[in-house]
Amino acid sequence: MKRLLELRPVLQFILEYIQWSVGIEEFSDIKIARPTGEMWFHIQCLGKLLVNFDGMTKLLSGEIYATMPLILPSIRLLETRLQNKKILAQIANGHQGEPCYDGSLVRMHLVRRLFLVLLRKRFGNVSDDIKSCCLLDPQFAHGNYLTSAERVSAEQFLVNESMRHAGVEVAEYDPNSSVDVSSKDDDDFTNELLERVKAELKLLFDKCKILEKTKNQTRVREKSKPKNQTKLENPLNWRKSSASDVPLIAPVVRKYFGVVATSVPSERCFSCAGNTITARRNKLTGENVRDIIFLHNSSVDEVDEVPSNG
């Protein structure tokens, strides 16, 4: 669809060409229908709606970023963009006055709402680990993508996971109960370990707040400079330097930052070769494939027919 919009000027030239005498003669055996303004309107609107999904898919490919913490922010960001009733306004302005304007715009907003319903239906109940691991990324530790209840549940999940990695049996989080440890509440060591985990988690969030504050101050100072495209900073570097400060939470970080979101867990969860293949496959975009085929066909030498002995 993006490719079609890019080639629209060329397509329009071809459609004009086949109406000339030379074009009519050249394409006399082919019937080509001219796309209507309504069709172009639909294509532009669908491209605007689907570009968000395309961007998120590339982001979650796992080629240069630890993507498990990106799942929830990506879903919530998609939801926010699809909720925006003005998402098609710029495209619609270019079609005002056309006979198809009102009907097409209503139809495309129905498509937008359908995408939103399907997104919520598919990802309405995200698992606790997906909700929680985004807090381990310093760029999402503020928890803006979580409700207050989800934030409390996510923090408790991280505490429980850290306790499990330390060899302590814990109960699943129950918001109606204040008991965190199921069978060893009376054990001094377990209680001490629990307090250490909570302290480490607080330290982690405090460091993330300081980091975010520093970034905001930098943005204010550089506000007058030309804007560059914002890129996500790889959290693995920051976590590597902070691992010694949070030794009990570090195993949980390694667990979730080592999984590519778009991998098949049973096949590529911890496979370096599988992740490499996935990254290479994701690079085969439509444009690249077409270019590769074109170069191949252009480089193949024509083989002369071998004359028969007869």
The alpha helices in the chain, defined as continuous H runs, are 2-6, 8-17, 21-26, 37-59, 71-83, 89-93, 101-123, 128-133, 148-165, 188-221, 235-242, 250-257, 265-268, 272-282, 286-299
Q: Which two tokens stand for residue 269?
A: 């969860």
Q: Which of 169, 242, 160, 164 is nearest to 208 (CA)?
A: 242
Interior CA angle at 148 toward 145 and 152, to 5°? 100
Q: Is the pLDDT of residue 290 over 60?
A: yes
pLDDT of the residue at 39: 87
pLDDT of the residue at 175: 47
Out of 28-32, 110-114, 277-281, give the one with best mean pLDDT.
110-114
Structural domain boundaries in the chain: 1-32, 36-126, 127-222+234-259
Cα distance between residue 104 and residue 209, in whole Å? 46
Q: Residue 200 carries which DSSP code?
A: H
Q: What is the DSSP string of 51-119?
A: HHHHHHHHHTT-SSS--GGGHHHHHHHHHHHHH-TTTTHHHHHTTTTSTTHHHHHHHHHHHHHHHHHHH
Asked whether the beta carbons of 290 and 3 are under 8 A apart, the reply is no
70: which residues sit within 8 A by CB, 6+ positions away?
59, 60, 134, 137, 232, 261
Out of 55-64, 91-100, 124-133, 180-189, give the one with best mean pLDDT.
91-100
Give per-residue pLDDT as tens, 182-238. 444 556 778 888 888 888 888 888 888 887 777 776 766 666 665 555 566 666 676
**pTM recorded for the entire structure:** 0.66
pLDDT of the residue at 303: 45
**How confident is residue 276, by pLDDT bands cut at 50, 70 and 90?**
low
Give per-residue pLDDT as tens, 81-120. 999 999 999 999 988 888 888 999 999 999 999 999 999 9
Asked whether the beta carbons of 234 and 64 are under 8 A apart, the reply is yes
pLDDT of the residue at 262: 57
Q: Which tops the pLDDT comparison, 122 or 112?
A: 112
60, HSE (Cβ side, Cα atoms, 13 Å): 18
